Amino acid sequence: MDHLPSPAFRLGANNYGKAGVRLVRVERDGAEHVIRDLTVHTELSGDLAATHLTGDNAGVLPTDTQKNTVYALARDRIGPIESFAERLARHFVDRTGSIDTARIAIEERTWSRFGPHSFSRGEGGEARTAEAVYGGEHTRITAGIRDLLLLNTTDSEFQGFAVDEHTTLQPTEDRILATAVDASWRYSHAEGVDFDKAFAAAADALLGAFRDTYSRSLQQTLYAIGERVLSAVPEAAEVRLSLPNKHHYLFDLEPFGLDNPGVVFQAGDRPYGLIEGTIARADE
């Protein structure tokens, strides 16, 4: 028996797509090969009420088709992942009548070369990211980096903070500052941007700000990173940052008759502080 939608309810915002499409492309131009290692996520929305309310799938482009499209469009080239994400988004919207908006998110992992066609990659590590959202006219492009592990062994303190009856944390004038940066920057426009060059400039700026900033709080470091990235990438309108505090506690060696002159630490896992923020240009 067919289900009949009740007039007491309505369909809200909805989308569908294919998550975790694993794509490896070997670029064989010349004696030295290049590996591109991507994970692609597609998300489509539009006139999809019929499939939800009556099961009429005439407007549904199967998620398997979306997966196949990722591989097919990668056949000739990938290029910067920002551009590849935009190509995919435009393909789905411009060729599928029921779809009015496509969101494509991509993560790229890097392989290290140790020969003309030999590569290594440890598990984990940072990933370059990109997202394209296309609604038929304009494309919004966001790029970034995820899981970038950074650590300063000094030039960081944390003191002068608020104290109440539940406070046990002691102020420190010298601590290890460690984090796993998730950063994304939104481009004010997509036309004419050299995405590879912009990404390299943003990554260098991020590392430089973390290295050069004497940190009195992770919040201060976050803001310094955002300022440096926006200064280095004029096409970027804003930067969003998420910085978990990877705690390192000075281990007490006194029970063993030993001092600890800031050399032995216990790395904490959970719970951890999470500092997040957005830095935008004043005229945005």
pLDDT grade for 214, boundaries at 50, 70 and 90:
very high
With a cut of 90, say whether residue 124 has pLDDT above it: no
CATH number for the domain harbouring residue 82: 3.10.270.10
Residues 120, 197 within the same domain: no
Task: Give the whole-number percent of the chain exceeding pLDDT 70.
Answer: 99
Please give the Cα distance from 78 to 59 (Å, whole number).
Answer: 28
Please give the Cα distance from 183 to 202 (Å, whole number).
Answer: 10
**What is the pLDDT averaged over residues 213-232?**
98
Does any domain span residue 223?
yes
**What is the pLDDT averaged over residues 116-130?**
87
Does any domain span residue 143?
no
Tell which of 137, 169, 187 closes a domain: 137
Does any domain span residue 284?
yes
Query: Which range of residues forms the domain containing residue 33?
Result: 13-137
**What is the pLDDT averaged over residues 131-160?**
96
What's the domain count of the chain?
2
Does any domain span residue 55?
yes
Residues 26, 98 within the same domain: yes
Output the pLDDT for position 121. 83
Number of neighbouring beta carbons within 10 Å of residue 230? 21
Residues 162, 216 within the same domain: yes
Tell which of 84, 104, 137 closes a domain: 137
Q: Active-site positions?
A: 18, 63, 247
Residues 163, 106 within the same domain: no
Output the pLDDT for position 125. 80
Whole-Å CA distances, 171 to 155, 168, 236, 245: 15, 10, 37, 16
Residues 22, 126 within the same domain: yes
Question: Three-class SS of residue 257?
Answer: coil
Residues 193, 232 within the same domain: yes
Burial of 265 (0-12, 13-18, 19+ CB in 10 A): middle
Residues 195, 272 within the same domain: yes
Q: What is the pLDDT of residues 95-110, one digit of tens each?
A: 999 999 999 999 999 9
